[in-house]
Amino acid sequence: MFDLTGMNALVTGASGGIGSEIARALAGQGARLALSGSNGAKLRAFREELNAGGGADHVEITCDLSATQQVEELVPAALDTFGSLDILVNNAGITRDNLAMRMKDEDWDAVIRINLEAAFRLMRAAARPMMKARFGRIVTITSVVGATGNPGQMNYAAAKAGLTGMTKSLAQELASRGVTANCVAPGFIRTAMTDALPDAQKDALNSRIPAGRMGESEEVGAAVAFLASREAAYITGQTLHVNGGMAMLG
């Protein structure tokens, strides 16, 4: 099950912690990847690592998601390389945290531009070739805070909630053409940043999670691989929460 052999995928933020595990999960199921990110050297090293594992010949496409022209050129570049695009994963995102009364306009604008607007542009660009092919999977990485909110993250929570609304709208527009659009919403995921936290702080975080631990990036990747599969054809407009029970949302 969940064999992605013969499918072409574009993953943004592909060299980051969660992004790289999403890429590994898709590649592990046989997909060929266009890996996108803003750090060309890091992206190239990751692409070489994936290709060294054998299988598909993955490619890298450097893109600064804050630059509108580069965003508009990303899906066409993937199509020029592969000839078709079956899977789009909107994973890239940034944070510019601060309390509302201290948040600068530029911090609001940057998060909305990269986390929300860039995803809209990529969804719009991918929709046409997917509709023509009568097959496609659009998976967008949101966050538990898009549903619950979080102090100091008004911009980030707004962007993530906006992604959910966009996805639901797009899902209704594309469903009759065999194209699905879904979200994966991680909770607390273990990263290099969380590993550096004091044990007391990590214990406090884990106490909020019924599973008693933070999630692993691989668990987010597995959720994306499922939603990208042919078997997930009857699932659209949904958010799959990967948070260990921290927020049990209907």
Look at residue 6 and tell me whether its pLDDT is greater than 80: yes
Single out the catalytic residue among 156, 170, 182, 220: 156
DSSP state string for 121-175: HHHHHHHHHHHHHT-EEEEEE--THHHH--TTBHHHHHHHHHHHHHHHHHHHHHG
- Tell me which of 170 and 54 has the higher pLDDT: 170
Domains annotated for the chain, with CATH where assigned, are: 8-240 (3.40.50.720)
Alpha helix locations (H) across the chain?
17-28, 40-52, 68-82, 105-111, 118-133, 145-148, 154-174, 192-195, 199-206, 217-227
Per DSSP, the three-state class of 2 is coil
Supply the pLDDT for residue 74.
98
Spatial distance between the Cα atoms of 13 and 25, rounded to a whole number of angstroms = 14
pLDDT of 163 reads: 98
Which of 55-64, 90-99, 225-234 has the lowest average pLDDT?
55-64
Judge whether 234 counts as a catalytic residue.
no
* Residue 192 pLDDT level (bands cut at 50, 70, 90): confident
Q: Mean of the per-residue pLDDT values for the chain?
A: 95
pLDDT tens for 198-222 read 889 889 889 999 999 999 999 999 9
| Mean pLDDT value across residues 223-237 | 98
Could you tell me the pLDDT band of residue 25, with boundaries at 50, 70 and 90?
very high
Task: Give me the helix-helix angle, 17-28 and 217-227, nearest 10°.
Answer: 50
Lowest mean pLDDT among 114-123, 133-142, 196-205, 215-224: 196-205
- Would the pLDDT of 1 be above 80? no
How many Cβ atoms are within 10 Å of 28's Cβ, its own excluded?
17
> Which tens digits make up the pLDDT trace of 238-247?
999 999 999 9
Average of per-residue pLDDT across 20-43: 96
pLDDT given at position 161:
98
Confidence category of residue 56, pLDDT binned at 50, 70, 90: confident
pTM assigned to the model: 0.96
| Kind of pairing between the strands at 32-37 and 136-141 | unpaired
